[in-house]
Protein backbone atom coordinates (compact mmCIF):
# COMPACT_ATOMS: atom_id res chain seq x y z
CA UNK A 1 0.00 0.00 0.00
CA UNK A 2 1.04 3.60 -0.62
CA UNK A 3 2.14 5.61 2.43
CA UNK A 4 -1.00 7.46 3.49
CA UNK A 5 0.60 9.54 6.25
CA UNK A 6 -1.22 12.87 6.23
CA UNK A 7 0.42 16.29 6.59
CA UNK A 8 0.66 18.13 9.90
CA UNK A 9 -1.91 20.80 10.69
CA UNK A 10 -4.79 18.86 9.18
CA UNK A 11 -7.70 17.34 11.05
CA UNK A 12 -7.85 13.66 10.20
CA UNK A 13 -11.12 11.79 10.58
CA UNK A 14 -11.19 8.00 10.54
CA UNK A 15 -14.25 6.14 9.26
CA UNK A 16 -15.02 2.43 9.60
CA UNK A 17 -17.62 0.87 7.28
CA UNK A 18 -19.41 -1.23 9.88
CA UNK A 19 -21.00 -4.32 8.39
CA UNK A 20 -20.44 -4.22 4.61
CA UNK A 21 -23.65 -6.21 4.14
CA UNK A 22 -25.58 -3.39 5.81
CA UNK A 23 -26.06 0.31 5.16
CA UNK A 24 -22.79 1.50 6.69
CA UNK A 25 -20.75 2.14 3.52
CA UNK A 26 -23.57 3.92 1.70
CA UNK A 27 -24.65 6.18 4.59
CA UNK A 28 -21.01 7.21 5.07
CA UNK A 29 -20.80 8.40 1.46
CA UNK A 30 -24.25 10.03 1.55
CA UNK A 31 -23.50 11.77 4.85
CA UNK A 32 -20.18 13.16 3.64
CA UNK A 33 -21.76 14.51 0.45
CA UNK A 34 -24.58 16.08 2.45
CA UNK A 35 -22.23 17.73 4.94
CA UNK A 36 -19.98 19.00 2.16
CA UNK A 37 -22.96 20.48 0.32
CA UNK A 38 -23.95 22.25 3.55
CA UNK A 39 -20.43 23.66 4.01
CA UNK A 40 -20.10 21.76 7.29
CA UNK A 41 -16.73 20.14 6.57
CA UNK A 42 -13.62 22.20 7.42
CA UNK A 43 -11.13 22.84 4.59
CA UNK A 44 -8.36 21.27 6.68
CA UNK A 45 -10.23 17.95 6.92
CA UNK A 46 -8.59 14.77 5.71
CA UNK A 47 -10.65 11.58 5.47
CA UNK A 48 -9.32 8.08 6.07
CA UNK A 49 -11.53 5.06 5.37
CA UNK A 50 -10.60 1.79 7.08
CA UNK A 51 -11.57 -0.36 4.16
CA UNK A 52 -10.72 -0.76 0.50
CA UNK A 53 -11.45 1.52 -2.47
CA UNK A 54 -13.68 -1.23 -3.85
CA UNK A 55 -15.85 -1.20 -0.72
CA UNK A 56 -16.11 2.59 -0.67
CA UNK A 57 -16.99 2.65 -4.38
CA UNK A 58 -19.67 0.07 -3.66
CA UNK A 59 -21.00 2.34 -0.91
CA UNK A 60 -21.11 5.22 -3.40
CA UNK A 61 -22.92 3.03 -5.94
CA UNK A 62 -25.55 2.06 -3.37
CA UNK A 63 -25.93 5.72 -2.35
CA UNK A 64 -26.39 6.75 -6.02
CA UNK A 65 -23.32 8.99 -5.80
CA UNK A 66 -20.87 9.28 -8.71
CA UNK A 67 -17.36 8.37 -7.57
CA UNK A 68 -13.93 7.82 -9.12
CA UNK A 69 -10.81 6.04 -8.03
CA UNK A 70 -7.16 6.96 -8.24
CA UNK A 71 -5.13 4.21 -6.62
CA UNK A 72 -6.07 4.05 -2.93
CA UNK A 73 -7.99 7.34 -3.07
CA UNK A 74 -11.70 7.56 -3.87
CA UNK A 75 -13.16 10.89 -4.97
CA UNK A 76 -16.79 11.97 -4.97
CA UNK A 77 -17.74 15.59 -5.45
CA UNK A 78 -15.03 17.72 -3.85
CA UNK A 79 -14.10 15.02 -1.36
CA UNK A 80 -11.06 12.76 -1.45
CA UNK A 81 -11.01 9.74 0.84
CA UNK A 82 -7.81 7.79 1.48
CA UNK A 83 -8.46 4.06 1.86
CA UNK A 84 -6.20 2.00 4.10
CA UNK A 85 -6.67 -1.49 2.66
CA UNK A 86 -6.14 -2.75 -0.87
CA UNK A 87 -8.94 -4.63 -2.59
CA UNK A 88 -7.26 -8.04 -2.33
CA UNK A 89 -7.04 -7.82 1.47
CA UNK A 90 -10.52 -6.45 2.19
CA UNK A 91 -12.98 -9.27 2.69
CA UNK A 92 -15.78 -6.72 2.89
CA UNK A 93 -15.29 -5.83 -0.77
CA UNK A 94 -16.62 -9.29 -1.65
CA UNK A 95 -19.78 -8.94 0.45
CA UNK A 96 -23.18 -8.47 -1.16
CA UNK A 97 -25.93 -6.26 0.33
CA UNK A 98 -27.96 -8.12 2.92
CA UNK A 99 -25.74 -11.24 2.83
CA UNK A 100 -24.05 -11.77 6.19
CA UNK A 101 -21.25 -14.30 5.83
CA UNK A 102 -17.78 -14.89 7.28
CA UNK A 103 -16.29 -12.21 5.02
CA UNK A 104 -18.78 -9.63 6.27
CA UNK A 105 -18.10 -10.50 9.91
CA UNK A 106 -14.32 -10.45 9.50
CA UNK A 107 -14.29 -7.20 7.53
CA UNK A 108 -16.09 -5.14 10.15
CA UNK A 109 -13.98 -6.52 12.99
CA UNK A 110 -10.69 -5.98 11.14
CA UNK A 111 -11.64 -2.43 10.15
CA UNK A 112 -12.44 -1.52 13.75
CA UNK A 113 -9.18 -2.97 15.04
CA UNK A 114 -7.14 -1.16 12.37
CA UNK A 115 -8.86 2.10 13.27
CA UNK A 116 -8.06 1.61 16.96
CA UNK A 117 -4.39 1.07 16.14
CA UNK A 118 -4.34 4.23 14.02
CA UNK A 119 -6.01 6.26 16.76
CA UNK A 120 -3.58 4.95 19.38
CA UNK A 121 -0.66 6.03 17.15
CA UNK A 122 -2.14 9.49 16.70
CA UNK A 123 -2.77 9.01 12.97
CA UNK A 124 -6.39 10.12 13.30
CA UNK A 125 -7.90 12.79 15.52
CA UNK A 126 -11.45 11.41 15.68
CA UNK A 127 -13.20 8.17 14.76
CA UNK A 128 -16.68 7.52 13.37
CA UNK A 129 -17.71 3.88 13.32
CA UNK A 130 -20.36 2.38 11.08
CA UNK A 131 -22.99 0.04 12.56
CA UNK A 132 -21.72 -3.47 13.23
CA UNK A 133 -23.18 -6.79 14.26
CA UNK A 134 -22.46 -7.99 17.78
CA UNK A 135 -21.44 -11.39 16.39
CA UNK A 136 -18.53 -9.74 14.56
CA UNK A 137 -16.96 -8.47 17.77
CA UNK A 138 -15.18 -11.64 18.87
CA UNK A 139 -11.44 -11.06 19.17
CA UNK A 140 -9.54 -14.22 20.04
CA UNK A 141 -11.47 -15.89 22.86
CA UNK A 142 -13.21 -12.69 23.95
CA UNK A 143 -16.68 -11.67 22.81
CA UNK A 144 -17.20 -7.93 23.18
CA UNK A 145 -20.84 -6.93 23.78
CA UNK A 146 -20.51 -3.87 21.54
CA UNK A 147 -18.19 -1.49 19.71
CA UNK A 148 -18.10 0.76 22.78
CA UNK A 149 -16.38 -1.90 24.86
CA UNK A 150 -13.96 -2.97 22.12
CA UNK A 151 -12.88 0.58 21.29
CA UNK A 152 -12.52 1.43 24.97
CA UNK A 153 -10.22 -1.57 25.48
CA UNK A 154 -7.77 -0.08 22.97
CA UNK A 155 -8.23 3.66 23.49
CA UNK A 156 -9.22 4.18 27.13
CA UNK A 157 -8.08 7.43 28.70
CA UNK A 158 -8.05 6.14 32.29
CA UNK A 159 -8.81 3.01 34.29
CA UNK A 160 -12.54 3.69 34.57
CA UNK A 161 -15.20 2.14 32.34
CA UNK A 162 -16.47 4.07 29.32
CA UNK A 163 -19.70 6.02 29.44
CA UNK A 164 -22.04 5.57 26.50
CA UNK A 165 -23.40 9.03 25.75
CA UNK A 166 -25.97 10.20 23.21
CA UNK A 167 -26.34 13.64 21.68
CA UNK A 168 -28.77 15.09 19.16
CA UNK A 169 -31.87 15.21 21.35
CA UNK A 170 -33.09 17.93 23.73
CA UNK A 171 -30.39 16.95 26.24
CA UNK A 172 -27.30 14.75 26.44
CA UNK A 173 -28.06 11.19 27.56
CA UNK A 174 -25.71 8.92 29.49
CA UNK A 175 -26.22 5.22 30.30
CA UNK A 176 -25.05 3.83 33.64
CA UNK A 177 -25.19 0.28 32.27
CA UNK A 178 -25.02 -0.56 28.59
CA UNK A 179 -25.10 -4.00 26.98
CA UNK A 180 -26.28 -5.80 30.11
CA UNK A 181 -29.34 -8.08 30.45
CA UNK A 182 -32.00 -6.46 32.60
CA UNK A 183 -31.63 -9.11 35.29
CA UNK A 184 -28.04 -7.99 35.88
CA UNK A 185 -28.61 -4.23 36.07
CA UNK A 186 -29.37 -3.88 39.80
CA UNK A 187 -26.07 -5.44 40.88
CA UNK A 188 -24.15 -2.89 38.79
CA UNK A 189 -25.82 0.11 40.42
CA UNK A 190 -23.13 0.94 42.98
CA UNK A 191 -21.94 4.13 44.63
CA UNK A 192 -18.72 4.05 42.60
CA UNK A 193 -20.55 3.44 39.32
CA UNK A 194 -23.04 6.27 39.88
CA UNK A 195 -20.27 8.67 40.93
CA UNK A 196 -18.12 7.85 37.88
CA UNK A 197 -21.04 8.04 35.47
CA UNK A 198 -22.31 11.40 36.73
CA UNK A 199 -18.78 12.84 36.68
CA UNK A 200 -18.21 11.66 33.09
CA UNK A 201 -21.66 12.83 32.04
CA UNK A 202 -21.02 16.31 33.41
CA UNK A 203 -17.81 16.46 31.34
CA UNK A 204 -19.66 15.27 28.24
CA UNK A 205 -22.48 17.75 28.77
CA UNK A 206 -20.02 20.62 29.08
CA UNK A 207 -18.35 19.63 25.82
CA UNK A 208 -21.52 18.87 23.87
CA UNK A 209 -23.82 21.62 25.15
CA UNK A 210 -21.27 24.36 25.80
CA UNK A 211 -22.75 24.97 29.27
CA UNK A 212 -20.02 25.35 31.90
CA UNK A 213 -22.15 24.07 34.80
CA UNK A 214 -24.78 21.80 33.26
CA UNK A 215 -27.90 20.71 35.11
CA UNK A 216 -28.07 16.91 35.28
CA UNK A 217 -30.95 14.59 36.20
CA UNK A 218 -30.52 10.95 37.25
CA UNK A 219 -33.41 8.60 36.57
CA UNK A 220 -34.49 6.02 39.12
CA UNK A 221 -33.48 2.39 38.84
CA UNK A 222 -36.91 1.07 39.80
CA UNK A 223 -40.49 2.05 38.91
CA UNK A 224 -41.44 5.27 40.71
CA UNK A 225 -37.76 5.55 41.73
CA UNK A 226 -38.43 2.81 44.27
CA UNK A 227 -41.51 4.42 45.88
CA UNK A 228 -39.71 4.87 49.19
CA UNK A 229 -38.31 1.35 49.14
CA UNK A 230 -41.55 -0.44 48.34
CA UNK A 231 -40.41 -1.18 44.78
CA UNK A 232 -36.70 -1.72 45.36
CA UNK A 233 -33.98 -0.27 47.59
CA UNK A 234 -31.33 0.80 45.05
CA UNK A 235 -32.68 4.33 44.57
CA UNK A 236 -32.83 5.17 48.28
CA UNK A 237 -29.81 3.19 49.45
CA UNK A 238 -27.34 3.75 46.58
CA UNK A 239 -28.32 6.38 44.02
CA UNK A 240 -29.66 9.11 46.31
CA UNK A 241 -26.65 9.12 48.70
CA UNK A 242 -24.19 9.14 45.76
CA UNK A 243 -25.98 12.11 44.20
CA UNK A 244 -26.01 13.96 47.53
CA UNK A 245 -22.24 13.58 47.82
CA UNK A 246 -21.79 14.83 44.25
CA UNK A 247 -23.96 17.86 44.96
CA UNK A 248 -21.78 18.63 47.97
CA UNK A 249 -18.79 18.88 45.60
CA UNK A 250 -20.60 21.36 43.35
CA UNK A 251 -22.14 19.07 40.73
CA UNK A 252 -25.62 20.27 39.73
CA UNK A 253 -27.47 16.95 39.70
CA UNK A 254 -31.03 16.09 40.70
CA UNK A 255 -32.67 12.73 41.33
CA UNK A 256 -33.30 9.94 41.34
CA UNK A 257 -36.57 10.77 39.60
CA UNK A 258 -39.15 8.35 38.14
CA UNK A 259 -38.28 7.79 34.49
CA UNK A 260 -41.84 7.72 33.18
CA UNK A 261 -42.77 11.00 34.86
CA UNK A 262 -39.57 12.65 33.67
CA UNK A 263 -40.08 11.80 30.00
CA UNK A 264 -43.75 12.79 30.21
CA UNK A 265 -42.61 16.16 31.56
CA UNK A 266 -40.11 16.49 28.71
CA UNK A 267 -42.94 15.94 26.24
CA UNK A 268 -45.07 18.57 27.99
CA UNK A 269 -42.12 20.96 28.04
CA UNK A 270 -41.69 20.59 24.28
CA UNK A 271 -45.35 21.50 23.87
CA UNK A 272 -44.82 24.58 26.03
CA UNK A 273 -47.07 23.40 28.87
CA UNK A 274 -44.45 22.52 31.50
CA UNK A 275 -42.47 24.64 33.91
CA UNK A 276 -39.66 22.08 34.29
CA UNK A 277 -36.19 23.53 34.62
CA UNK A 278 -33.92 23.26 31.60
CA UNK A 279 -32.04 19.95 31.66
CA UNK A 280 -28.66 19.61 29.94
CA UNK A 281 -27.99 15.92 30.61
CA UNK A 282 -29.79 12.84 31.89
CA UNK A 283 -28.35 9.64 33.36
CA UNK A 284 -30.46 6.56 32.60
CA UNK A 285 -29.81 3.43 34.61
CA UNK A 286 -30.10 0.93 31.78
CA UNK A 287 -30.06 0.77 28.00
CA UNK A 288 -33.72 0.77 27.00
CA UNK A 289 -34.85 3.06 29.83
CA UNK A 290 -32.95 5.88 28.21
CA UNK A 291 -32.64 4.99 24.56
CA UNK A 292 -36.27 4.18 23.78
CA UNK A 293 -37.55 7.66 24.63
CA UNK A 294 -34.37 9.39 23.48
CA UNK A 295 -34.49 8.06 19.93
CA UNK A 296 -38.05 9.34 19.64
CA UNK A 297 -37.03 12.75 20.97
CA UNK A 298 -33.99 12.98 18.67
CA UNK A 299 -36.03 12.34 15.53
CA UNK A 300 -33.51 10.09 13.80
CA UNK A 301 -30.47 12.31 14.47
CA UNK A 302 -29.19 10.81 17.72
CA UNK A 303 -25.44 10.24 17.91
CA UNK A 304 -23.64 7.67 20.05
CA UNK A 305 -20.50 9.09 21.71
CA UNK A 306 -18.06 7.04 23.78
CA UNK A 307 -16.78 9.16 26.66
CA UNK A 308 -13.47 8.27 28.27
CA UNK A 309 -11.29 7.70 25.18
CA UNK A 310 -8.10 9.31 23.93
CA UNK A 311 -9.88 10.51 20.78
CA UNK A 312 -13.54 11.32 20.12
CA UNK A 313 -15.49 8.32 18.85
CA UNK A 314 -19.03 8.57 17.54
CA UNK A 315 -21.44 6.39 15.63
CA UNK A 316 -25.01 6.61 14.32
CA UNK A 317 -27.82 5.48 16.60
CA UNK A 318 -29.08 2.72 14.28
CA UNK A 319 -28.06 -0.81 13.40
CA UNK A 320 -26.90 -2.42 10.18
CA UNK A 321 -30.36 -2.29 8.52
CA UNK A 322 -29.53 -5.09 6.09
CA UNK A 323 -32.96 -4.95 4.46
CA UNK A 324 -32.29 -1.39 3.31
CA UNK A 325 -28.75 -2.00 2.02
CA UNK A 326 -28.50 -1.03 -1.63
CA UNK A 327 -32.15 0.05 -1.82
CA UNK A 328 -31.42 3.77 -1.97
CA UNK A 329 -33.75 4.29 1.03
CA UNK A 330 -31.20 4.32 3.87
CA UNK A 331 -31.35 7.55 5.90
CA UNK A 332 -27.93 9.17 6.38
CA UNK A 333 -29.11 11.73 8.97
CA UNK A 334 -27.68 9.99 12.02
CA UNK A 335 -24.36 9.28 10.27
CA UNK A 336 -24.11 12.93 9.22
CA UNK A 337 -24.77 13.99 12.81
CA UNK A 338 -22.14 11.50 14.04
CA UNK A 339 -19.52 12.93 11.68
CA UNK A 340 -20.37 16.52 12.60
CA UNK A 341 -20.23 15.70 16.32
CA UNK A 342 -16.87 13.94 16.03
CA UNK A 343 -15.40 16.93 14.18
CA UNK A 344 -16.78 19.37 16.76
CA UNK A 345 -15.26 17.38 19.62
CA UNK A 346 -11.92 16.97 17.82
CA UNK A 347 -11.65 20.74 17.28
CA UNK A 348 -12.28 21.61 20.93
User: Hey, where are the domains in the chain?
Assistant: 1-157+309-348, 161-308
Please list, in sequence order, all residues whose beta carbon lies within 8 angstroms of the beta carbon of residue 290, skipping any fewer than 6 positions away: 166, 173, 174, 175, 219, 282, 284
Asked if the peptide bond before residue 107 counts as cis, ω within 30 degrees of 0, the response is no
The fold of 161-308 is Isopropylmalate Dehydrogenase (3.40.718)
Report residue 105 CA to chain centroid gap.
Answer: 20
What burial class does residue 88 get, using C-beta atoms within 10 Å of its C-beta: 0-12 exposed, 13-18 middle, 19+ buried? exposed
Report residue 199 CA to chain centroid gap.
Answer: 19
pLDDT of res. 3: 35
State how far the Cα of 269 lies from the Cα of 170, in Å rounded to an integer. Answer: 10
Give the burial string for 15-41 (b: 16+ CB within 10 Å, else e).
Answer: bbbbbbbbbbbbbbbbbbbbbeeeeeb
pLDDT of res. 273: 57
Q: What is the CATH number of domain 1-157+309-348?
A: 3.40.718.10
State how far the Cα of 50 lies from the Cα of 32, in Å rounded to an integer. Answer: 15
Per CATH, 1-157+309-348 and 161-308 having the same topology is answered yes
How, if at all, do strands 172-175 and 253-257 pair? Answer: unpaired
**256 backbone φψ class: left, alpha, beta (φ>0; ψ -120 to 50):** beta
Distances (CA, A) of 94 to 104, 137, 147, 160, 162: 8, 19, 23, 39, 34
Query: DSSP 3-state assignment of 176?
Result: coil
State how far the Cα of 272 lies from the Cα of 304, in Å rounded to an integer. Answer: 28
pTM to 2 decimals? 0.90
Report residue 39 CA to chain centroid gap.
Answer: 23
**pLDDT by 10-residue block (mean), the chain, 348 residues:** 46 95 95 96 95 93 95 94 84 80 86 93 95 80 78 83 92 94 95 97 95 96 91 95 98 96 87 70 97 91 92 93 89 95 91
Amino acid sequence: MTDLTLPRGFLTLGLTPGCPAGVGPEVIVAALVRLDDEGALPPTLRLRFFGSPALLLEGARRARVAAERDGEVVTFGRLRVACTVDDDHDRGARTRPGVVDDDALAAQREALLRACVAAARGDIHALVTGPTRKSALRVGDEQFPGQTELVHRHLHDDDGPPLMVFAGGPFVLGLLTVHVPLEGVAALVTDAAVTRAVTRLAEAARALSGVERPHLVALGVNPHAGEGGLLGRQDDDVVAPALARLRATGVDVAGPVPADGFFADVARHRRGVSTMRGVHAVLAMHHDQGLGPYKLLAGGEAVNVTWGLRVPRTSPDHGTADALAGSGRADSSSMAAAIATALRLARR
